[in-house]
Structure 1
Amino acid sequence: MTLDCRLVVERPRFRLDVALAVAAGEVVALLGPNGAGKTTALRALAGLTPLTAGHIELDGRPLHDLPPEARPIGMVFQDYLLFPHLSALENVAFGPRCRGVPKAEARRVAATWLERVGLAGFAGVRPGRLSGGQAQRVALARALAAGPRLLLLDEPLAALDAHTRLDIRARLRRHLAEFDGATVLVTHDPLDAMALADRLVVIENGAVVQQGPPTEVARHPRTDYVARLVGLNLYRGDGDGHRVRVGEIEFSVAEPLHGAAFVAFPPSAVALFRTRPDGTPRNLWQAEVDGVERHGDNVRVHLTGPIAAAADITPAALAELDLAPGGRVWAAVKATETHAYPA
């Protein structure tokens, strides 16, 4: 592993204790709710927040006792922190200059990086005249120009509008694919994480609660936060073959298992009825409408009752069902769309 660390940071009412390993060329995204410790972990790696305990090793070399400027790390901050009085070229040259590279050589390196990020024509432009996407690319070029072995990205796309974000996300993915060091990315956006990262590490309350490839984490969430992030209803119950009991409800599920189990299904799999449906739907319960909101092209109905659940229906179905908060409905999910896995 290029990066191997255990980050322990203790504060009066918060403790971060996260072990992290990142291979050369790998992009790892740290995800978690506000206050989970993601940015604290990133700042600890950069040396901006001191460790209470633990270690940081990069290419087998201990870094935890080194000051930030002595660590072979490049960092892109959420608001980029470009020097407003310097041109794009001089901003990018700042990284190599801090590593002791002569001024002329640093400018040559900076010019090469500006060309690589598609901004060769903006070398003399100051940050105040750059768009958000251009500023992000200058900040990335500045971080990479110093030749780091570890790249740290703190919400690198958060300041961009939706249209610019799409383009810059694709560009950033290409640049990260060419970087041969380790990359740690902090983001709140699941789309950014899924598009940019090879592996997700989910942090809640200062500890790792789940990690793995994006598709695996999305398919098998293990906490309510992750389930909301990937858009699934998630419950914990007890499995007995093809049935899992969750409180008062016994779910028929596609996968057989025994013991503690998670049950998950998407809101789009939930069908709603004003009266009990004919036939014998496998997974059926009566619920109360807690709220209704627009969700993309559909409507999301929040349900309470034996379990809390979200259901996505069309606006036409909403009108036909005449749903309003406090109304009673029947909810059903097909067994083939109800997935279970060990807890």
Structure 2
Amino acid sequence: MTLHAHLVVTRPAFTLDIALKVAPGEVVALLGPNGAGKTTALRALAGLTAVSGGQITLDGRPLHTLPAERRPIGMVFQDYLLFPHLSALDNVAFGPRCQGVSKAEARRTAAALLDRVGLADRAAARPGRLSGGQAQRVALARALAVRPRLLLLDEPLAALDAHTRLEIRSRLRRHLADFDGATVLVTHDPLDAMVLADRLIVIEDGAIVQQGTPADVARNPRTEYVARLVGLNLYRGPADGARVKIGELLFSTSEHLEGPAFVAFPPAAVALYRTRPDGSPRNLWQARIEGIERHGDNVRVHLDGPITAFADITPAALADLDLTPGQSIWASVKATETHAYPA
């Protein structure tokens, strides 16, 4: 059941205008900053937000003309929205019952799905007695119980703590691999997107700015948002062979290009020096330290100057260099540490 959608949602200060195609068995993640239009797109697919234009078809059948309750869609909301007065079993059975399935058959379907998500022993528990991870799995089972051809997930892991998130992310990936319909996932977490999705679609200001496999998007970011998301410094400028002009600097790269190009490199590739280093590093500039913060096991140094950049160094290097905000410093990146590609 291939999903084809052109979604146009117009509001006074915002317009969403994107085109989506999702193949059977494919998981597509919509990624973007807050306010980009990700959840609006998901709600438009579900029929919970009216579209101003465009169309939605699932295997050739128009959905945009159908009310939400008649669309072959299962949805997992960010807060799961389980019925607090019903058991896990009856929460899952609710959808089939609404479709006219007998109570006994609906409960058999629900029991099988709860067993599939590893919660057969929690069938009688109400939502208030479930952990966050268990509630998420009940919500997924409830979405699958209506036998959807399109599965929509809105930040399905956002309500979980870090430890639970790791386990449930792995479980969810296995469940999605078993689903033969189209799946659209909304998330702001790049790790969720990279692990769960076959393809990423990045939305900014209501428009698609980049799409591709997780590996392609991570290696070739095309906006500052995507670069920050995958932890890269990103710049754009005209290329002439193995050099790209970025502001006042002429960056040497390992690739040879002509015309508009991007240059990206990780913060760990930036070397810092108190004084100008001996020799002639290919990419060298003087910068001022704007800030210093912990970043995982390392220290992230914010640099301003002819270009802004992040540099990741070890705590030992920070102590040896005796760095402080406002200080002038030299920074360099080897050409072999850069990655240049057409803009």
TM-score (norm 1): 0.99
Aligned counterparts of 1:74 and 1:151: Cα–Cα separation in 2:
5
Following TM superposition, by how much is the alpha carbon of 1:2 offset from its aligned partner in structure 2, in angstroms?
A: 1.0
- 1:239 matches 2:228: no
Aligned counterparts of 2:27 and 2:104: Cα–Cα separation in 1:
32
Q: Secondary structure at the match of 1:121?
A: helix
Aligned counterparts of 1:101 and 1:72: Cα–Cα separation in 2:
15
Residue of structure 1 in register with 2:165 after alignment: 165
Following TM superposition, by how much is the alpha carbon of 1:52 offset from its aligned partner in structure 2, in angstroms?
A: 0.1
**Cα deviation per residue 1:195-220 (whole Å; 9 max; x = unaligned)?**
00000000000000000000000000
Amino acid at match of 1:322: D
Q: Secondary structure at the match of 1:292?
A: strand
Structure 1 residues 148-297: aligned runs within 5 Å: 148-297=148-297
Amino acid at match of 2:297: D
Residue of structure 1 in register with 2:66 after alignment: 66
Residue of structure 2 in register with 1:336 after alignment: 336
Residue of structure 2 in register with 1:111 after alignment: 111
Residue of structure 2 in register with 1:322 after alignment: 322
**Cα deviation per residue 1:228-251 (whole Å; 9 max; x = unaligned)?**
000000000110000000010100
Q: Secondary structure at the match of 1:307?
A: coil
Q: Secondary structure at the match of 2:307?
A: coil
Following TM superposition, by how much is the alpha carbon of 1:95 offset from its aligned partner in structure 2, in angstroms?
A: 1.4
Amino acid at match of 1:177: A
Give identity over the alignment, percent: 79
Q: Secondary structure at the match of 1:310?
A: strand
Amino acid at match of 1:6: H
Structure 2: gaps spanning 5 or more residues: none
Aligned counterparts of 1:324 and 1:161: Cα–Cα separation in 2:
34
Aligned counterparts of 1:71 and 1:100: Cα–Cα separation in 2:
15
Aligned counterparts of 1:331 and 1:95: Cα–Cα separation in 2:
59
Aligned counterparts of 2:221 and 2:280: Cα–Cα separation in 1:
29
Residue of structure 1 in register with 2:51 after alignment: 51
Aligned counterparts of 2:159 and 2:301: Cα–Cα separation in 1:
31
Following TM superposition, by how much is the alpha carbon of 1:59 offset from its aligned partner in structure 2, in angstroms?
A: 1.4
**Cα deviation per residue 1:21-70 (whole Å; 9 max; x = unaligned)?**
00000000000000000000000000000000000001110000100000
Aligned counterparts of 1:194 and 1:68: Cα–Cα separation in 2:
29
RMSD of Structure 2 on Structure 1 (CA):
0.6
Residue of structure 1 in register with 2:145 after alignment: 145
Aligned counterparts of 2:59 and 2:96: Cα–Cα separation in 1:
20
User: For structure 1, which segment, 183-192 or 90-99, has the greater mean C-alpha deviation from structure 2 after superposition?
Assistant: 90-99
Aligned residues: 343
Amino acid at match of 1:124: A
Aligned counterparts of 2:97 and 2:55: Cα–Cα separation in 1:
28
Aligned counterparts of 1:60 and 1:13: Cα–Cα separation in 2:
33
Residue of structure 1 in register with 2:26 after alignment: 26
Amino acid at match of 1:50: A
Following TM superposition, by how much is the alpha carbon of 1:102 offset from its aligned partner in structure 2, in angstroms?
A: 1.2
**Cα deviation per residue 1:170-199 (whole Å; 9 max; x = unaligned)?**
000000000000000000100000000000
TM-score (norm 2): 0.99
Amino acid at match of 1:219: R
